[in-house]
Structure 1
Amino acid sequence: MTEPTPESAATPTELSAEDRKLVTLARATRARTGAAEGAAVRDTDGRTYAAATVALPSLQVSAVGVCVAMAVASGSRGLEAVVLLTDAGSVSDGDLAAVREFAGADVPVLVGDPRGAVGGSTAS
């Protein structure tokens, strides 16, 4: 797992309005489903996708993985930002690889706790 880098500008009150929207979407999705993680992404057209971890006996997909799959299936051409809310405190290498493969390097990935307090970021 890749540990996020703490940033002084990583608190929700200091995020852009667009990034605060992603935090709200990820938090609501996680709370509604009771899942381990909630995530939201914004694509290069400004569309947002929110998802929770899928943990079925026959199918396991991370919240970020579901968001990337939704964006790809919707015809998106890339991502501008990713938010992951998790107890784990970091984003998995697999999730970073999926974001990087789809959207390239340097997509900001903000990582926060389940309440939506963003504690750091990393790049894809």
Structure 2
Amino acid sequence: MKISKFVVASVLVMASIGLSGCSSSSDEPGDVIAPVTMDAGELQGETVDLVVGQVLNINTGDLAVDSYTGEVADEKVAEFVAGYVQDGTTFNPGISALATGESSVTLTNSDGGIQPLEFTVVVSPRS
């Protein structure tokens, strides 16, 4: 009888140890943040509000997604992510919000004939 209680207790302890490995204890919020999508032509002079971890997805319209380059004045606040095409899938260029703050952004198109797009990104903390 003592052996069966010991076996049952051992099984319960092992099961609880095994299940604890399945739990998540991340300090990061788990919710996915939807991107903000804007057409390139809408960005001139605008202020775009993002939260840390969010992305501004820039729709380039008829222009090639890889024809844009970007400069972010404060690279601690945000970074430019180049657009590209891979295996038939198109990935738009964008701005990724890294930390709380504000930065000016300039996008330039290599195809020429298009004025640089200048806008501001304001990044707030994620709640």
Bucket of the pairwise TM-score, normalised by the shorter protein: 0.3 to 0.5
What's the TM-score once normalised by structure 1's chain length? 0.32
Q: Work out which structure has the larger RCO, using CA pairs closer than 8 Å and 6 or more positions apart in sequence.
A: 1
* Structure (1/2) with the larger helix percentage: 1
What's the TM-score once normalised by structure 2's chain length? 0.32
